[in-house]
Chain A
Amino acid sequence: MTFAVLQRSGSPGKTHHSDLTMEKIRSAWLFLLPMIITLAAVAGWPLIRTIWLGFTNANLTDLTVTEFIGFENYLSFYEGEAYGLLVDPDWWNAVWNTVWFTLVSVSLETVFGMGVALILHANFKGRGIVRTAVLIPWAIPTIVSAQMWGWMLHDQFGVVNEILLTLGIINNPIAWTADPDIAMWAVIMVDVWKTTPFMALLILAGLQMLPEDIYEAAHVDGIHPVKVFFNVTLPLIKPALLVAVIFRALDALRIFDLIYVLTSSSTSTMSMSVYARQQLVDFQEMGYGSAATTLLFLIIAALTVITITAGKLKLGEEA
Chain B
Amino acid sequence: MNKTIKSVLFYALVLAVILISVFPFYYAVVTSFRSGTALFSTSLWPFPVDLKNYFVIFQEQPFGTNIINSIIVATSVVVFSLAIAVTASYALARIHFRGRGLLLMTVLSVSMFPQVAILSGMFELIRSLGVYNSLPGLIIPNTVLTLPFTVWVLTTFMKELPKELEEAAIVDGASPLTIVVRVFMPLMWPALVTTGLLAFISAWNEFLFALTFTLSNEVRTVPVAIALMSGGSEHELPWGNIMAASVVVTTPIVALVLIFQRKIVAGLTAGAVKG
A contacts, CB < 8 Å to B: 1-2, 4-5, 8-9, 21, 24-25, 27-29, 31-32, 34-35, 38-39, 42-43, 45-47, 49-50, 116, 119, 122, 124, 128-145, 147-149, 151-152, 157-159, 162, 193, 197-198, 201-202, 204-205, 208-212, 239-240, 243, 246-247, 250-251, 254, 256-257, 272-273, 276-277, 280-281, 286, 289-290, 293, 296-297, 300-301, 304-305, 315-316, 318-319
Tell me which residues across on chain B come within 8 A of A209, comparing CB atoms: 157, 160, 190, 268, 271-272, 275
Tell me which residues across on chain A come within 8 A of B271, comparing CB atoms: 208-209
Q: How far is the CB of A200 from chain B (nearest CB, A)?
A: 9
CB of A46 within 8 A of CB of B125, answer: yes
CB of A276 within 8 A of CB of B147, answer: no
B contacts, CB < 8 Å to A: 10-11, 13-14, 17-18, 20-22, 24-25, 27-28, 31, 40-42, 44, 83-85, 87-88, 90-92, 94-97, 100-101, 103-122, 125, 140-141, 143-144, 147, 149, 151-153, 156-157, 159-160, 163, 167, 170-171, 175-177, 180, 190-191, 194, 197-198, 201, 204-205, 207, 222-223, 226-227, 239, 242-243, 245-246, 249-250, 253-254, 257-258, 261-262, 264-265, 268-269, 271-272, 275
CB of A119 within 8 A of CB of B17, answer: yes
The 6 closest A-B pairs by CB, nearest first: A46-B121, A208-B268, A315-B101, A293-B117, A139-B253, A46-B118
Given contacts A31-B87, A280-B117, whether A205 and B268 have CB atoms under 8 Å apart is: yes
CB of B249 within 8 A of CB of A141, answer: yes
CB of A35 within 8 A of CB of B114, answer: no
CB of A301 within 8 A of CB of B40, answer: no
CB of B17 within 8 A of CB of A134, answer: yes
Q: How far is the CB of A52 from chain B (nearest CB, A)?
A: 10
Tell me which residues across on chain A come within 8 A of B180, comparing CB atoms: 31
CB of A143 within 8 A of CB of B223, answer: yes
Tell me which residues across on chain A come within 8 A of B110, comparing CB atoms: 39, 43, 47
A-B contact pairs, 30 of them (CB 8 A): A25-B97, A28-B97, A32-B87, A35-B84, A35-B147, A42-B144, A45-B125, A46-B120, A46-B125, A50-B117, A119-B17, A122-B10, A124-B14, A130-B14, A130-B17, A135-B253, A139-B253, A140-B28, A148-B243, A149-B24, A202-B194, A208-B271, A209-B190, A247-B111, A254-B112, A254-B114, A257-B207, A273-B114, A296-B114, A300-B112
Tell me which residues across on chain B come within 8 A of A21, comparing CB atoms: 96
CB of A293 within 8 A of CB of B167, answer: no
Q: How far is the CB of B23 from chain A (nearest CB, A)?
A: 9
Q: How far is the CB of B208 from chain A (nearest CB, A)?
A: 8
Complex partner residue of A132 from B88, B117, B261, CB under 8 angstroms: B261
Residue of A nearest to B223 (CB): A141
CB of A201 within 8 A of CB of B197, answer: yes
- In the complex, what distance in Å separates the CA atom of A122 from the CA atom of B265? 11
Q: How far is the CB of A48 from chain B (nearest CB, A)?
A: 8
CB of A45 within 8 A of CB of B121, answer: yes
- In the complex, what distance in Å separates the CA atom of A134 from the CA atom of B106? 33
- In the complex, what distance in Å separates the CA atom of A152 from the CA atom of B24? 8
Q: How far is the CB of A54 from chain B (nearest CB, A)?
A: 10
Tell me which residues across on chain B come within 8 A of A27, comparing CB atoms: 91, 95, 175-177
- In the complex, what distance in Å separates the CA atom of A1 from the CA atom of B164? 9
CB of A139 within 8 A of CB of B95, answer: no
Given contacts A5-B171, A162-B42, A243-B156, whether A139 and B257 have CB atoms under 8 Å apart is: yes
CB of B21 within 8 A of CB of A137, answer: yes
Interface of A is mostly: helix
CB of B121 within 8 A of CB of A141, answer: no
Complex partner residue of A47 from B31, B118, B160, CB under 8 angstroms: B118
Residue of A nearest to B87 (CB): A31
Apart from the given pairs A148-B246, A209-B190, 18 other A-B contacts in the complex at a CB distance below 8 Å: A24-B96, A35-B84, A42-B144, A45-B121, A46-B121, A47-B118, A140-B28, A144-B242, A202-B198, A205-B157, A243-B152, A247-B149, A276-B117, A280-B116, A297-B117, A305-B105, A318-B159, A319-B159
Residue of B nearest to A35 (CB): B88
Q: How far is the CB of B15 from chain A (nearest CB, A)?
A: 9
CB of B95 within 8 A of CB of A158, answer: no
- In the complex, what distance in Å separates the CA atom of A250 from the CA atom of B153? 14
Tell me which residues across on chain B come within 8 A of A116, comparing CB atoms: 17
CB of A145 within 8 A of CB of B249, answer: no
CB of A144 within 8 A of CB of B125, answer: no
Q: How far is the CB of B150 from chain A (nearest CB, A)?
A: 10
CB of A38 within 8 A of CB of B84, answer: yes
CB of A151 within 8 A of CB of B97, answer: no
CB of A140 within 8 A of CB of B25, answer: yes
Complex partner residue of A133 from B22, B105, B109, B120, CB under 8 angstroms: B22
Complex partner residue of B91 from A31, A133, A137, CB under 8 angstroms: A31
Q: How far is the CB of A85 from chain B (nearest CB, A)?
A: 14
Residue of B nearest to A257 (CB): B207
CB of A24 within 8 A of CB of B95, answer: yes
Given contacts A130-B17, A247-B111, A250-B111, whether A136 and B22 have CB atoms under 8 Å apart is: yes
CB of A119 within 8 A of CB of B116, answer: no
Given contacts A50-B121, A138-B201, A139-B253, whether A34 and B88 have CB atoms under 8 Å apart is: yes
